[in-house]
């Protein structure tokens, strides 16, 4: 039995990835949000290992806390208001969504958490031959402007932290219809576009959702596992 008077060294916490019917079924946003909340409660209470949920949603708009009225669709499309940061975005078929529910190291640094996700996305895109970058003052991951197209957002990020544990996360456009981008102001940004891995790789074939998920999981492990520790007993 450990001596309670002697501080115990922290030990690495396992990180698990849960694919919620990925590649077989689309998940309603509200079902996934409930799963996030339940998982967050378990992780924050040290009843479950840090967990990353991976899935594809049915088509839906979600609005973060900073969404402006002018960002929203005007055609009556459903919008679900959520408790993450950021503004309005879209989820739907062909987009890989990851919800890391992980404890942050102390002192808490939410920006560092966002940077870790951006790094994993950039590495994933690079593995498929797509050069991406971050843009100062803007979250997410971008393809730089060139002679034929403006800067284009390929992945969005929005997070919430409660009890030192993260919720929400990232969405990477793998091979989705971009018609939704004309219905809203994506992430509140008016002077840039959106893109997908498939569009950037054309005319070459796009990678499958499962192949992208495998690669992104590897890179998320690389950035998250060094930060994870269990609380001493």
- How many residues are listed for the chain in this entry? 233
**Residue 187 known to be catalytic:** yes
Catalytic residue from among 98, 143, 176, 187: 187
10 Å Cβ neighbour count for 87?
23
Distance CA 229, CA 153 (A): 33
204-to-20, 181, 199, 201 alpha-carbon distances in Å: 28, 23, 9, 5
Sequence-separated (6 or more) residues with CB below 8 Å from residue 130: 143, 154, 197, 200, 201
- Which has the closest alpha carbon to 168: 52, 74, 56? 52
Active site residues: 187
């Amino acid at each position: 039995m450990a001596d309670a008077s002697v501080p115990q060294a922290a030990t690495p916490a396992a990180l698990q990835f849960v694919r919620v019917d990925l590649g077989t079924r689309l998940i309603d946003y509200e079902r996934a949000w409930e799963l996030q909340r339940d998982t967050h409660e378990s992780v924050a209470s040290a009843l479950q290992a840090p967990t990353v949920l991976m899935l594809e949603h049915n088509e839906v708009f979600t609005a973060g806390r900073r969404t402006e009225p002018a960002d929203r669709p005007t055609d009556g499309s459903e919008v679900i208001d959520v408790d993450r940061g950021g503004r309005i975005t879209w989820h739907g078929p062909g987009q890989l969504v990851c919800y890391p529910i992980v404890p942050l190291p102390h002192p808490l640094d939410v920006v560092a958490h966002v940077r870790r996700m951006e790094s994993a996305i950039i590495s994933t895109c690079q593995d498929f031959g797509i050069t991406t970058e971050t843009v100062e003052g803007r979250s997410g991951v971008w393809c730089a402007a060139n002679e034929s197209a403006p800067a284009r957002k390929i992945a969005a990020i929005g997070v919430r932290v409660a009890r030192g544990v993260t919720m929400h996360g990232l969405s990477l456009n793998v091979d989705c219809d971009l018609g939704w981008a004309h219905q809203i102001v994506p992430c509140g940004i008016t002077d840039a576009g959106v893109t997908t891995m498939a569009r950037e790789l054309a005319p070459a074939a796009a990678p499958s959702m499962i192949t992208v998920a495998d690669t992104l999981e590897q890179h998320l492990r690389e950035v998250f596992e060094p930060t994870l520790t269990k609380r001493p007993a």
